[in-house]
Structure 1
Amino acid sequence: MNNIYKEIVPYLLDWFDYNARILPWREQPIPYFVWVSEIMLQQTRVEAVKGYFDRFITALPDIKALAEADEDKLLKLWEGLGYYNRVRNMQKAAQIIMKDYDGALPADYDKLLLLPGIGTYTAGAIASIAYDIPVPVVDGNVLRVAKRITASYDDITKGSVKKELWKELYDIMPKDRPGDFNQSLMELGATVCIPNGKPFCDKCPVVHLCRAFHQDVIMQLPVKPPKKERKQEERTILLIEYQGKYAIKKRAAKGLLAGLWELPGIDEKVDYKKLSKELKDGGLTIEAIKSIGEAKHIFSHVEWHMIGYHVKTGQVPAEYTKANSLLWVNRKDMETLYALPSAFSRYISYLRNI
């Protein structure tokens, strides 16, 4: 065991007592709130999550409500957070919890791990914060803090490195305050030992123990391989208007943005002339086509480079609607009922302003 981890415990707990950010899920650390917040915080900053969290628990205040929620409502509540399978898995887990655990998240680390969408990190967070079970959490913040403190050049993307750190932290978990200790590590990584840019070592409660600081190698750690270059895809996005309604369609059940609503489009960038011909060939009567600008959206492994058009049409054959699986909705319903991924935000914002 790396003894330095045992030495940091009292310093981090004391620092956390006076420096912990006030967050809604910390004010009421009931298991459901901890679960929702931890899933939301994956891939999303704390400040961005606050509003989503309040909206979500207001609409779905408990596990029963989550289990029974209509999918469109569920996805609409998640709109803008991305990685929609996270909330789908939450609902699957909620349904299992209602069936097998009388509607309460199990106060058992191993049982939590069996639920859809709950891995070692989320299980550890729920178990320690909500139930005071002494199990660690290992996320990017914790890995960064740990590897800087020990001046370790281990590759933090390797599963074996994460498992080893989990074991080392498990051995030194304070039995009386496991949740606070886990949160202190995460908090330090989020606010002091930050991921991008120079850390605020002058504010760190364990800087006197930090080997990376004393060896002047902080900016070299942690070690992780360079990200693979993202694939670039060009797309044309269509805001088709017909009798005051707009076309949306549901994406395929598998793949990127699986099962979500989207604006229809073409899997390449096309100019006005080609677009006009394609739409007319489909049977649409075109009244006007207006370019509504270019946009870029970055997913984890792919980038969309888009151009958008507002198309006003005077006639839409039923065959065209059926062939393209279109649903025609008014602005209000698009805003309130149907979740459209943030990839389309440039064109949805245009709709709000016309």
Structure 2
Amino acid sequence: MITSNNAVIDMWIHEHQNWPNFTWDVESLASKLADIRHRQGRLLGRMEGLGFEFKCEASLSTLTNDVVKSSAIEGENLNPDEVRSSIARRLGIDIAGLIPASRDVEGIVEMMLDATQQFSKPLTKDRLFDWHAALFPTGRSGMHKITVGGWRTIDTGPMQVVSGPIGKEKVHFEAPDADRLEKEMQAFLKWFGNGNDIDPVIKAGIAHLWFVTIHPFEDGNGRIARAIGDMALARADGTQDRFYSLSSQIEAERKHYYAQLEKQQRATPDITDWLSWFLDCLGRAIFNAETTLGNVLFKAQLWNTINQRPVNDRQRLVINLMFEDDFEGFMNTSKYAKLAKCSNDTALRDIQELKERGIFIQNPGRGRSTSYRLPDREKT
């Protein structure tokens, strides 16, 4: 916003003379960036200590959340089981209960995996067009036919983000005109591909804001912007494995996310405030990842203990089943016998052995009410 002759004039960020020469206060962000880098290193170090199976499980869980939550930000609810199955199939991860996935799910999974698994490959116009086509396999957004695999055109009119009832709409943002898109995207892709001296985490924040401000497509810009951000973060981590989900944190803070975008898009190319919020949000995403992945870490720690004196195949099967999200209640002799397909006497012997080793903890109650659980996380 600028003033002229005491009149206030609204100006979008992309209308400023210095666009897109972004600036930011390096010193004010330095401590936040250092904290993020420390958190990333600590989390990656913990996950690196896991075996291959557990790393795959943790990455699958994170990628599933990333896809589901990125779509939820745009008001699209995907079936998490379909997403998980699609990712597992594409990555060759062997999981139980694979189910077919819809075209919409397959499309966004294809885009997200291309961004994160092929993070070192150049980001090009054709690659973005492929992503967009994957997001809209029918060539439609809802009931409306849209340009797929190409920039939005002049025919679509101004690209605005609006809210409110008809006649009382509030314009939150208006993107650059369609005739500017080729030049704008050339500049963006050249910058993203350059090996400049910007930290990849900062680059992720800039790329997110820059792309979503250009808004080059008729629909899907937010999801593609977040995929680009994830690509930059994968480069920062130097690994295909994903153990934290920025999209999950953005979805949890959706109101603040849109408020920060609008505030910056109404401001100048000094993006210190946006980057400050972005780093804070990313920090919370990494912190929360430790909770989200707690079950995987707990499972790995317990199996490390168990494998010092391995259990039999029946015991291994039942323990793994008890880790499943849909496992209900506690373990008892009859349930064990049914799951392991053995007699009650065999089940009882297996359970007693696991109890003596501290792998099963007996709950209060005796007789027919006798039941068992796995150790509490904080005590392993």
Q: TM-score, normalised by structure 2?
A: 0.25
Larger relative contact order (Cα-Cα within 8 Å, sequence gap ≥ 6):
2
Q: Which has the higher helix share?
A: 2
Q: TM-score, normalised by structure 1?
A: 0.26
Q: Which has the higher strand share?
A: 1
